[in-house]
Structure 1
């Protein structure tokens, strides 16, 4: 599973989440910003890129769970590279100062939160990502496919849920990296994993 193509698709997924984050930070209205952020997940789904929070939802369906977990780690690292490119790249542009200021406010809220709060908010985030990805994959109606993406993204952002890849971008554009940041990113990553797996666990339980 770990190939040059997989690395490229993972890095591009992080880059497009970063572009979604740039759009979100560029407008004052939170709902409008959340809707614009959806360009990231829309692009990833339609072009088949590798996003950690989407791919982790199907770890239970894999015959080789250990290999799938290693692949997820590679995707996570690729997503990190893509978001770092987006975040630090924007710091070199005329928009960088304004974006960094807004991102810093977000980062302060996240990094001053409690561990349990971050973990629970990350679980809720990936419940919505699961809904978005499942709708795109399985909804027979074209409108339903894209509404699933839009609604999932808008709700998780407006509700303040924690998406580890989006936060990689915010931490980068705000230059907010530290050991504390890395610890919180790990907690977000694990919370997203739990939120993504829960619906599949429930499905397997009722199908017995």
Structure 2
């Protein structure tokens, strides 16, 4: 029964994290409509991860980074289940907000363009772009957790989030929201998300693995 409560909590926190990313994504879209400069919209997107880190919600791309630690502690299987539940929750939250905004406000030309570009990428490009995004997310969440300076932890988080957006890297939960906001629910979009999830997972695990080799 205790495990069930934990799993339900993870799922609900996953939904809330998906909603937060959707909020950041929508701020990004609205800002992009009013300016050709990507820098300001990119920084506005970081509000999503700021909310998640402060309220303790469950974002898959942030939590996958700690799978190595859990496996070493022999908690890998249980943590893996939590990751899956959290990811499903992220999907539900992001898709829900995207669906509601699409039905309320309609689609946006910039979103359609973004989605078309993402769907035109080859599978290996989605994985590579996802890997680099996963690395940025690791630096963001680990920096937020480890930096003691209250201002410094927000600076590193915002710079990392803005960085992966400016570079055009792919974040699976954000892309879930964008596809829903564009009203795109196809097998091709689902496959694209799966490849991005693979990339985000590899990127999120890469630096922790290297750190283990170097320092332990």
| TM-score between the two structures when normalised by the length of structure 2 | 0.92
Give me the whole-angstrom Cα distance separating, in 2, the residues matched to 1:76 and 1:46.
19
Say whether 1:19 aligns with 2:30. no
Partner of 1:79: 90
> What do residues 35-54 of structure 1 show as CA deviations (whole Å, max 9, x unaligned)?
11100000000000000000
> What do residues 126-154 of structure 1 show as CA deviations (whole Å, max 9, x unaligned)?
11000000111111111111011100110
SS of aligned partner of 2:57: coil
Give me the whole-angstrom Cα distance separating, in 1, the residues matched to 2:214 and 2:11.
36
SS of aligned partner of 1:106: helix
Query: Aligned-pair distance for 1:165?
Result: 0.4
Partner of 2:56: 48
Is 43-52 or 1-10 further displaced after alignment?
Answer: 1-10
Partner of 2:136: 128
Runs of 4+ in structure 1 displaced over 6 angstroms?
A: none
Unaligned runs of 5+ in 2: none
Say whether 1:203 aligns with 2:211. yes
Give me the whole-angstrom Cα distance separating, in 1, the residues matched to 2:197 and 2:151.
30
Is 110-119 or 43-52 further displaced after alignment?
Answer: 110-119
Counterpart of 1:193 (choices 195, 198, 201) is 201
Give me the whole-angstrom Cα distance separating, in 1, the residues matched to 2:117 and 2:157.
26
Partner of 1:97: 107
| TM-score between the two structures when normalised by the length of structure 1 | 0.95
Say whether 1:4 aligns with 2:4. no
Give me the whole-angstrom Cα distance separating, in 2, the residues matched to 1:97 and 1:65.
41
Residues 117-196 of structure 1 mapped to structure 2, 5 A cutoff: 117-196=125-204
Unaligned runs of 5+ in 1: none
Say whether 1:70 aligns with 2:81. yes
* Aligned-residue CA RMSD (Å): 1.1
Give me the whole-angstrom Cα distance separating, in 1, the residues matched to 2:135 and 2:213.
17
Give me the whole-angstrom Cα distance separating, in 1, the residues matched to 2:136 and 2:107.
31
Instruction: Assess if the C-alpha contact under 8 Å between 2:107 and 2:183 holds in 1.
Output: no
Query: Aligned-pair distance for 1:4?
Result: 2.5
Counterpart of 1:107 (choices 105, 115, 125) is 115
Give the number of equivalent residue pairs: 205
